[in-house]
Amino acid sequence: MSMLELLPEVWQKEWDKQSYGEPTLIQSTLYPLLLESESVLGISPTGSGKTVAYLLPLLQKVIQGNGNQLLIILPSQELASQVADVTRIWAKGLELNVQAIIGGANVKRQIERLKKRPEVLVGTPGRVLELIKLKKIKAHLIQTLVLDEVDDLLSDADFNSTKGIIKSVQADTQIVATSATGEQILPRMDTLFRTELRVIDVTEEDNTKGSIQHGFIMTPVRKRSEVLRRLAHVDGFKGLVFFNQVSELGAVSERLNYLGIKHQTLASDQHQVERKRAIHDFETGQVSLLLTTDLGARGLDFSDLDYVIQYDLAQSVPDYIHRAGRVGRMGKQGTVISLVNDGEKRELNRLYKEVGKTGTEFFATHGRLATEKPDTHMEEESKEVRPVKEEKVKPIAKKEEGNREKMETPKKKKKKNRTKKQKNKGAKWK
């Protein structure tokens, strides 16, 4: 039997409602393994449906009314909120309760809701570990622990919290980890997990990746805000703009405000309400630009996102892969554009070589994005308007330089509109 035939009838209807089509390779591969409580590290490209791949088999194992059984950990508040929403869709059909345990939210309210013993918990590592230590989450009762975007969870920022959660669950707890760049954590698996994880890597066989065009726009840093302004005026443009530093993101945001460009920002130093508003405005098309960092947009899934813009180059190949993975999801097309100067172009070529891609040069001008250099005649002509006026003045000034006294005399007479008393006012001091 196929995976779809094994799903509850209510889920088969939901599957059709979501217009998912045939299950992806990672979904059909993980389904039987997770149903059998096997601990797995699933590796597949971004946008290949990993969330649904682990949700469907794991939710089927949850027993209604038995308290916390499934714990899903994610590296950011936004991603945790997004996955919690997806989880609720599928849990509803089985009458299971889902609670988000996210940092930045009111912890007292979270504790109160935990008293209702929800079967599924979705959260961020810091807050989840805090509530485990307070014994508000009964870690020993957790049957399955999911580490979504595990390479990020094991980064410097979240490593200690994630390791603390892993240690708090039982030795025989099923562990499910997912990643788009799983090779980063393979060397560390033996020291992190007490249970051996079976590695399922379908990256090479996966066919869900849409057509992604990689390219660049040559521009110095000081003119990149202007390039973003031009891109924002391209008809139908919707772009996720990546920065390496929050400070630079803030400076560019101020510049775009000055230029009158509607946009939103998504950064780690923002309040949860602000970040939620930013995602909503971008998703609904109220703004065409969302400025963010790797941490801010890690794993987020935006519908109808056609462009990723690298204001700053990714600092590593995995970072570039994650950025590029925001487009081309589930077979859709997308474009990744890097803003670079001559020096950065060499680094970009190195990234292209690492990921096996080639870059196309783009030009943003006159409300459109083109791969052919536009006719610059009219642009040069418009740029010369001011210099031409200045050039007419300079020759005249040079020709009449010798007659400066004659030129200045009428000006002095024109300015001296004073009475006789005023004209002689200071003569006595000579």
The neighbour count for residue 42, using CB atoms within 10 Å, is: 27
pLDDT tops 60 at residue 398: no
Instruction: Kindly state whether residues 339 and 367 are assigned to the same domain.
Output: yes
Confidence of residue 299 (pLDDT cuts 50, 70, 90): low
How much is the mean pLDDT over the chain? 84
Instruction: Kindly state whether residues 106 and 35 are assigned to the same domain.
Output: yes
Give, in degrees to the nearest 5, the angle at Cα 407 between 402 and 408. 110
Tell me whether strands 363-365 and 368-370 are parallel, antiparallel or unpaired: antiparallel
Instruction: Kindly state whether residues 194 and 216 are assigned to the same domain.
Output: no
Instruction: Kindly state whether residues 173 and 233 are assigned to the same domain.
Output: no
Question: Looking at this protein, which amino acid is placed at residue 281?
Answer: D
DSSP string, 63-96: PTTS---EEEE-SSHHHHHHHHHHHHHHHHTTT-
Counting the structural domains of the chain, the total is 2
Domain assignment present for 423 = no
Instruction: Kindly state whether residues 114 and 218 are assigned to the same domain.
Output: no
pLDDT-above-90 percentage for the chain: 56
pLDDT-wise least confident of 28-32, 355-359, 407-411: 407-411
Domain assignment present for 410 = no
Q: Which of 201, 224, 239 is the last residue of a domain?
A: 201
Dihedral sign from CA coordinates of 170, 53, 73, 70: negative
Separation of alpha carbons 365 and 373, rounded Å: 10
Q: What is the largest CA-CA distance in the chain?
A: 115
Residue range 45-56, pLDDT digits in tens = 888 889 999 999
Instruction: Kindly state whether residues 192 and 239 are assigned to the same domain.
Output: no
Q: What are the residues whose beta carbons fall under 8 Å from the beta carbon of 307, sequence distance 6 or more?
A: 231, 237, 238, 239, 240, 327, 334, 335, 336, 337
Contact 30, 54 (CB under 8 A): yes
Q: Which residue has the higher pLDDT, 105 or 208?
A: 105
Q: What's the whole-number mean pLDDT along residues 2-7?
A: 89
Residue range 268-286, pLDDT digits in tens = 778 878 888 999 999 999 9
What was the pLDDT predicted at 258?
Answer: 94
What was the pLDDT predicted at 376?
Answer: 56
What pTM did the predictor assign? Answer: 0.73
Separation of alpha carbons 324 and 176, rounded Å: 25
Separation in Å, CA 334 to CA 70, 100, 218:
34, 31, 20
Domain assignment present for 382 = no
Contact 84, 132 (CB under 8 A): no
Q: Which of 328, 351, 374 is the last residue of a domain?
A: 374
Instruction: Kindly state whether residues 234 and 310 are assigned to the same domain.
Output: yes
Instruction: Kindly state whether residues 238 and 182 are assigned to the same domain.
Output: no
Domain assignment present for 381 = no
Residue for token pair 């009838």: 9
Phi and psi at 287, nearest 5°, equal -130, 150
> What domain range is 26 assigned to?
3-201
Instruction: Kindly state whether residues 182 and 138 are assigned to the same domain.
Output: yes
Burial 308-334 (b: 16+ CB within 10 A, else e): bbbbbbbeeebbbbbbbbbbbbeebeb
Q: What's the whole-number mean pLDDT along residues 93-113?
A: 93
Q: What's the whole-number mean pLDDT along residues 110-129?
A: 96
What was the pLDDT predicted at 226?
Answer: 94
Q: What's the whole-number mean pLDDT along residues 320-346?
A: 87
Instruction: Kindly state whether residues 85 and 196 are assigned to the same domain.
Output: yes
What was the pLDDT predicted at 294?
Answer: 84
Domain assignment present for 236 = yes
Instruction: Kindly state whether residues 188 and 318 are assigned to the same domain.
Output: no
Domain assignment present for 108 = yes
Reading the block at residue 385, the tokens are 């308007």
Instruction: Kindly state whether residues 160 and 224 are assigned to the same domain.
Output: no
Reading the block at residue 17, the tokens are 């409602």
Domain assignment present for 222 = yes
What was the pLDDT predicted at 296?
Answer: 65
- Name the strand (E) or helix (H) holding 368: strand 368-370
Separation of alpha carbons 155 and 136, rounded Å: 26
Q: Which of 144, 176, 201 is the last residue of a domain?
A: 201
Domain assignment present for 149 = yes
Residue range 337-357, pLDDT digits in tens = 999 999 999 999 999 998 888
CATH number of residue 185's parent domain:
3.40.50.300
Give, in degrees to the nearest 5, the angle at Cα 183 between 182 and 189. 80
pLDDT tops 50 at residue 385: no
